[in-house]
Structure 1
Amino acid sequence: MTPLAGVGLSAGVAAVVGVVGALGVLALGRRRTSLAAVLAPLVVVASVAAGVYASARAMFLSYEVSTTVLWLLLATVPVALVIGLALAQRTHRLAADRAAAVAARDRDREVEEGRRELVAWVSHDLRTPLAAVRALAEALEDGVAPQGRAAAGILAENRRMSEMVDDLLALSRLQSASFEPAREPTDVGDLASDALAALGPVAEAAGVRLTGGVDGAVVASADAREVSRALGNLLSNAVRHTPAGGTVHVEVGRGPGDPGGTGPDRRGAGPAVVHVTDACGGIPAADLPRVFDAGWRGTAARTPGSGGAGIGLSIVESVATAHGGRVEVRNVDLPDGGRGCRFTLTLPASR
């Protein structure tokens, strides 16, 4: 065989082996990219070795010489393997970086959409008290409204706007990356009792009965001020959505203990758990995941008629998250045969 024919044979065999190997690597790459990156350099070595060995045998070189040439070529396998491992590591890092970038982009888009929705809701809610203040001021200016009544109305609307602004500032602070609650042993039962006392006049005016109970001393490692805000928001939300004649019930107790904990009893004191049950009639199952979204309204039955910017429950969730706890909601059947919602706030036990 002429040298030119030998080169052609070598190239043909190398091409066939290379194409088959490349197809295998491509098929494997759809499932396991890193393994495909490791095998790619080995396919190159295998195709070259096959081409050279076929050419050597075709040119009637001795078996010993052909085998020696083949082993010399196969000696490059460790180098190819090292290169493949480096490629696999790089491929894995690039894939991880891409996944993280996509997740961050999606997260930023969700945050931006939530921010826009919140701004839209707050802008809508602020228009109502602003319009009321303007109408009362014009009526006062025209002399068609008693001064005392107009002044009282303006003060009430001003209070309403102040509450909205306070909620927005609280939510912004709680969701800040630098926020850290001032943790100290806090009796959650006392905070719940204070919240019940504070909401008593509001519930009485709405015809709603408030009941509650505390199962022993329930101490949590928490920021008393923020937890009080969360409990107040939960109760206010429950009273607002419970019709006259209904009941809002509060229970404070312990959740299951942590066997690996370091609580006072050395068995791991369970977390502090607060249940707030209202008689709102229930929330559609499709709406439950959005209950804690800032500015979300849902059904007309859950839309606050007065006061608030629709972020009270978002503040509750932010307080729970900042403490390493959680807040959940589910529909429940009430003893009187009606339907309601039970909000459950869980806070870490005091260490």
Structure 2
Amino acid sequence: MMRSSRPPRAVSLRRFLLLWLLGGLWLVVACIAAFHLVVALIELARAQDARLVAALGASGQPGVGAVFERTGSLDGSRIAGDRMLEAFPWVASLPASGAPRLYVSQRGDVAVRAAAALREDATQSGGKVVVQAAEPMRARFAAWDRMPRQLLGWLAAAALGMSAVVVSAVAMTSRWLARARRALDAPQLDMALYDGPSELRPAMARMHELHQRQREWVEQQRRFLADASHQLRTPMSVLRTQLQSAMAGDVPAGEILPQMLHTVDRATDMANQLLSLSKLEQVKRAGRLQAVLLHAAAVDAVMELAPLIAAKRLDFALEGDEQLGATGDPLMLGELLRNLLANAIHHTPDGGRLGILVRAYAATVELVVWDGGPGVDDALRPRLFQAFSATKGGVGLGLSICRQIAEAMGASMEIYNRVDAGRVIGVDAVVRWSQAP
């Protein structure tokens, strides 16, 4: 059985509130009216039955007050009283003690409530007669005539007053919601001036925060794209100049080709890092992180960059607990490690030492990529993680992307000079998770 793909129908909150609140109110009014009506009918029925029993009297004649009275013999023949009232048909069922029996009968075309009982015949010694008293059945339902005047009047007035209150409350709620909608539509939302429902304030604040973050992100992307286009334009212009020089024969091919290769490599590195930044934004928006083994991720990065390590004859060391993990994204963690490791390889002199260390202490997990390079200049440190702030031989995006990847995985990243005996002997790039998984 296939389900319908139609979207759910939008429901008006105002109509919903009016229907449910007014419907519930009038349902309560109807229940109260029905309850009082039933009680009134029961009381009228009991009162009528009591009148009929009293009307039979203790003597052989019906008492005063019954509308219709009849006295008859045991065989049903009328002795006195109303000619149209039918005789009691179940004489044998009447108690000899004279207790009355209540029943429903007819008087012509009119339904009546009647009472019958055996009495001593005052004219015949020892004889018995059947005495009857009756009233129309409509007397039992006189509450129908009195209810609109006695009960339904004030119930309807109260319900109308409460309905007016409900309608006013719903209208006020609609105005509050309209204020909230206008506040969301405003380009700048000042929560201090928000005068809508307090229950909506957290949602409004959250929406304001999301809008603010969206505007900031768009502005960051705009600036980044402007910088990126400028940075990419530079190597392309250089490459064009080099090609023109080679075509004109101004520079020997053996001299210009390595320069062109370097320019192409520089542009390729920047394009790859821009692609990494695009992937990073996807990870941030997806927000799906998982436990990742840091040692295994480091092994993958080292295997990929092993040719570069071998080309410079570097002494590499990978240390730490193989089962130590942290929360992250496997692909972006690999990108982070490759960037840091490539940066360490670039700055370590030929035949030098570098490595990766995975360690944990207290509630902290650290991933350290260290090298034996010259260290970070203090003048460069303030803009070390700024985009397009390149050190010698770089494109200025690697460390910026690394820090953004770390923050997207709930970690922090810092660069420290490693000092021994007052002399800088290398750099430690430390990615730190404050909570172990």
Given the two structures, how large is their TM-score scaled by the length of structure 2?
A: 0.44
Any idea what the Cα deviations from partners look like across 1:12-37, whole Å, max 9, x if unmatched?
xxxxxxxxxxxxxxxxxxxxxxxxxx
Higher RCO (CA < 8 A, seq sep 6+) = 1
Instruction: Identify if the C-alpha distance between structure 1 residues 112 and 210 changes in structure 2 by more than 3 Å, giving closer, same or farther.
Output: farther
Letter of the aligned partner of 1:231 in structure 2? L
Q: Does 2:429 align with 1:343?
A: yes
Deviation of residue 190 (structure 1)? 1.9
Aligned counterpart, 2:367:
274
1:16 corresponds to which residue?
none
CA gap 1:104/1:180 in 2 versus in 1, 3 angstroms? closer
- 1:107-146 matched pairs, under 5 angstroms: 107-146=213-252
Aligned length: 241
The correspondence of residues 86-125 of structure 1 with structure 2, limited to 5 A, is: 91-125=197-231
2:348 matches 1:253: no
Q: Map 1:1-351 to 2 at 5 A.
A: 91-176=197-282, 177-178=285-286, 180=288, 187-191=296-300, 193-194=302-303, 197-200=306-309, 211-220=316-325, 225-240=331-346, 242=347, 249-256=354-361, 271=365, 273-277=366-370, 279-281=374-376, 283=378, 287=382, 291-293=384-386, 295-297=387-389, 303-308=390-395, 310-321=396-407, 324-339=409-424, 341-346=427-432
| Larger CA Rg, structure 1 vs 2 | 2
Q: Which amino acid in structure 2 is aligned with residue 252 of structure 1?
A: L
Determine helix, strand or coil for the equivalent of 1:135. helix
Q: 2: CA distance between counterparts of 1:146 and 1:285?
A: 37
State the identity as a percent. Answer: 23
Asked if the contact 2:418–2:428 (Cα under 8 Å) also holds between the matched residues in 1, the reply is: no
Contact 2:385–2:403 (CA under 8 A) maintained in structure 1: yes
- Give the match's secondary structure for 2:232: helix
Deviation at 1:172, TM superposition (A): 0.6
CA distance, structure 2, for counterparts of residue 117 and residue 106 of structure 1: 17
1:332/1:305 CA distance change after superposition, 3 Å = closer
Q: Distance in 2 between matches of 1:292 and 1:332?
A: 15
Give RMSD over aligned pairs: 4.3
Distance 2:229 2:312 in 1: 28
One-letter code aligned to 2:233: R
- 1:153: Cα distance to partner? 3.1
Matched AA of 2:419: L
- Post-superposition offset of 1:253: 2.1
SS in 2 for 1:145: coil
Cα distance change of structure 1 residues 291 and 92 upon mapping to structure 2, 3 Å threshold? farther
Q: Is the 8 A contact 2:414 2:430 kept in 1?
A: yes
1:63 corresponding residue in structure 2: none
Aligned-partner Cα distance in 2 for 1:193–1:157: 26
Structure 1 segments unaligned to the other structure (5+ residues): 1-78, 259-269, 298-302
CA drift of 1:149 comes to: 3.8
Per residue, is there more helix in 1 or in 2?
A: 1
Instruction: Say whether the 8 Å CA contact 1:274–1:344 is kept in structure 2.
Output: yes
- What SS is found at the alignment partner of 2:428? strand
